[in-house]
Amino acid sequence: MKVFLCLGFLLCLYLGSEARVYSRCELYNIFQETGLAGYRGYSAANWICLAYYESGYNTDAVNNNGPSRDYGIFQINSKWWCNDGETAGAEDACHISCQSLLNDDIYDDIECAKRVVRDPNGISAWVAWRNHCRGQDLSRFTAGC
């Protein structure tokens, strides 16, 4: 019985470690390292602002907005960018499973975000960026990093 309790506890720890809430400075460093900062002219502050308003920097965030869902730190949509196996008529332009956007490895999320901004809408594809970040002083998102 003790063995099963220990295994259950370890499984909970393992599953709990899959998702992560990053700090803005951690994201700043990762965005610099991966080339997301400055990608297509969008500063790290723009990306950090976007992630804050989309997910609160939480890699496990999922938002159900009707026929499609948004996944991960950037809230990548299953209608256009990732495959969740449920969204009818999905495009899957990033060629990625939506589930893979829900763990603490955000490198695949970043590659998909780069794909999104290559489209004509650029970073404006994200409503949260348009509503909260566009045209704002974003220096607070990188201050002290």
Percentage, residues of the chain above pLDDT 90: 84
User: What does the pLDDT read at residue 98?
Assistant: 97
| 97 within 8 A of 104, measured Cβ to Cβ | no
Whether 6 shows a pLDDT value over 60: the answer reads no
**20-141 CATH, one of 1.10.357.10, 1.20.1530.20, 1.10.530.10, 3.30.420.40:** 1.10.530.10
User: What does the pLDDT read at residue 142?
Assistant: 98
Q: Quick one: average pLDDT of 38-61?
A: 98
Q: Which residues are catalytic, by number?
A: 54, 70
Q: Which of 111, 145, 117 is nearest to 129 (CA)?
A: 117
Q: Which of 113, 126, 127 is nearest to 30 (CA)?
A: 113
- Per residue in 112-121, pLDDT (tens digit) is 999 999 999 9
User: What does the pLDDT read at residue 7?
Assistant: 36
Q: Show Cβ contacts of residue 41 under 8 Å, excluding neighbours closer than 6 positions.
A: none
- Per residue in 113-145, pLDDT (tens digit) is 999 999 999 999 999 999 999 999 999 999 999
Tokens found for residue 20: 């992560």
- Per residue in 60-90, pLDDT (tens digit) is 999 998 899 999 999 999 999 999 999 988 8
User: What does the pLDDT read at residue 49?
Assistant: 98
- Per residue in 8-28, pLDDT (tens digit) is 433 333 444 489 999 999 999
Q: Name 21's bridge partners.
A: 58
Q: Name 70's bridge partners.
A: 63, 77
